[in-house]
Structure 1
Amino acid sequence: MTGLVSLPRSRPGWIAFVLSGWVIVAVVQAAQGSFLAAHAGTPQQWWPTLAYTLAIYSVWALLTWPVAAAIMAIERAVQPRALRIAAYLALWPVVSALHVLVFAGLYWPAYRGEGVPTRWAMADRMFVRNLDTNTLLYFALLGIVLFCLHLRRRQRAAANAASSAPDDALLIRSRGHIRRIPLDTIDWIGAAGDYVEVHVAGSVELLDESLASLAARLPTEAFARIHRGALVRLDRIRNIEPIGRGDAHVRLVTGERLRLSRRFRANLAALIAPA
């Protein structure tokens, strides 16, 4: 998939991508509306229909950026899948309400009428009338953003694998800069949704890659899984502290204490046992 689809790499490229996408959707919907109206015997003038549809989708173009930012924040901050789904569902009515409020604020002077004497009246009417369409568009936008995030993670993981040997270093990309983190400086790595947090000497770096993907390319003689959401560097382990029922804590040389699940305890004990 990564070889077939290429994402924009610059801000102007993303702006062009978003605007062209919404323009295409607006033109298609205007054409569909005109066709259905003509078929029903109530033809509509093309240019006014297109202008109104473009006005509707211009608001969606404006909202794309904050909505995408909110989705990315949820992906980074919320790890349990059920909670992420709940967060996306909670965002849905907020985005629908924002759409009609922004539209009424911008376009009420052009489209006001007897039934909508105020901007608030226009927003109130549009929220109910457009809820189904806004619902469809919100979840379509959600799906596209999640797909782009997934594709970007795969592309970056491939680039990391190609540009940095697994036993050498991780490359962290942030705000256009690349930071090289030698593997022997890492204390432990934790999952953060579909990202990972790399803990290095008291600081935390966010890497755009899943924990499962990263674990597959790290040297097994240096790193081990201690929990489904954590990897630890073996030479950073001070001791293992049992807490009962097969579970334990891993005490690091830094003083940090991490949970060790019973699933990974035997393997870890064998790895750190004296030869």
Structure 2
Amino acid sequence: MPESATDAAYRRFLPWRRTFEIGFWVLLIGINCVGNSITTLMEIRRGRSDILSWEPAVWESSSAVMWLVVLLPAIVWFTRRFPLHWDNWRRQLPWYLLASVLVSILHVTGMVALRVLIYRWQGLEYDFGPWGREFLYEYLKDVRSFMIMVFSIEAYRFLLRRWQGEASLLDTPDEGPPVERIELPERFLVRKLGREFLVAANDIEWIQASGNYVNLRMRQHDYPLRSTIAAIETKLDPRRFARVHRSYLVNLDQVASIEPMDTGDARLHLKDGTTLPCSRRYRADLRGRVGAGVGVELGTPSA
């Protein structure tokens, strides 16, 4: 299948993906920090307060640092561990409510600690106020910020999956028998920006677990499929695909060589140059399956 303009654009985006993601949050949180600092200072000046002009900047920047450096990476990890979808939001809601409280506790204690340090550096004392009242006030703000971040992260992942193409299993037809075995599919349906096409299961080179998804690797392109690695393993031909790691399945036809390690694990070198890990749990079975006349080089242990 020739590469489309969409595929080419996605491939060009990949090297810049991490820069884009980090830059987006730095810019968004930075703009919010500067804007809040200015408006807070303006409100203070209207009331002729004796608060120094640098204090609102310290308040807002300490909050921004906690969100950007500590909390955002934790939220990204949490949403991968407990992904939120239309069909599971009721089950996940208690976890998200608990997470919002923990996020707020970390946010408040962290930013107060930063403010105390900066104020002492300036020879002053920082007074946060009554902790019970002030924490409730901060939590009501933090829970909104937390949910906005969760929504933004999930929306971005959804758009990214649509752009790169998201795979799914073929459904049972409403009428008549299926054209192939549903429990052992020979093809997968890929949806990409309004287009649909079929890909052969045998064209999958390797599969990697990614949270509640697995990435199907085909021709240097990843297609996410909503499944666990264990579930997709049961749906692939065991004569062609082998589990080599808790997070990886590999197409045996793609294995060029197995490099044993002194630790008991191994490295798999695929025909396209990719290197995958192979844990000791699966190494012996893999050697037996690929070593019998299939042109795979079996190496000697290396450090």
- Provide TM-score, normalisation by structure 1: 0.53
Alpha-carbon deviations, 1:188-241, whole Å to 9, x = none?
x8756xx995323364879xxxxxxxxxxxxxxxxxxxxxxxxxxxxxxxxxxx
Alignment-derived partner of residue 154 in structure 2: 146
Alignment-derived partner of residue 103 in structure 1: 111
Alpha-carbon deviations, 1:161-182, whole Å to 9, x = none?
569950424585779x97239x
Alignment-derived partner of residue 217 in structure 2: 179
Q: Distance in 2 between matches of 1:7 and 1:139?
A: 27
Alpha-carbon deviations, 1:64-97, whole Å to 9, x = none?
0111110121018997331122221121101101
Q: Match for 2:36 among 29, 36, 50?
A: 29
- Per chain length, whose mean CA-contact separation is higher, i.e. which structure has more relative contact order (CA < 8 Å, sep 6+)? 1
Q: Distance in 2 between matches of 1:7 and 1:130?
A: 37
Q: Distance in 2 between matches of 1:114 and 1:41?
A: 20
- Note the aligned Cα RMSD (angstroms): 4.4
- Give the number of the structure whose residues are more often helix, by fraction: 1
Alignment-derived partner of residue 198 in structure 2: 166
Alignment-derived partner of residue 94 in structure 1: 102
Count residues in correspondence. 189
2:232 partner SS: strand
8 Å Cα contact 2:84-2:154 kept in structure 1 = no
User: How much identity, in percent, do the aligned residues show?
Assistant: 15
2:22 maps to a residue whose letter is I
Residues 91-100 or 126-135, more deviating: 126-135
Residues 78 and 34 of structure 1, relative CA distance in 2, 3 Å threshold: same
2:28 maps to a residue whose letter is G
Residues 59 and 123 of structure 1, relative CA distance in 2, 3 Å threshold: farther
Q: Distance in 1 between matches of 2:29 and 2:126?
A: 30
Q: Distance in 2 between matches of 1:92 and 1:140?
A: 11
2:63 maps to a residue whose letter is I
**Runs (5+) with no aligned partner, structure 2:** 1-5, 168-189, 220-224, 249-303
Q: Distance in 1 between matches of 2:111 and 2:145?
A: 15
Alignment-derived partner of residue 48 in structure 1: 55
8 Å Cα contact 2:41-2:56 kept in structure 1 = yes
Q: Distance in 2 between matches of 1:106 and 1:9?
A: 32
2:29 partner SS: helix
Alignment-derived partner of residue 282 in structure 2: none
**By how many angstroms is 1:126 displaced?**
5.1
2:42 partner SS: helix
Q: Distance in 1 between matches of 2:126 and 2:31?
A: 32
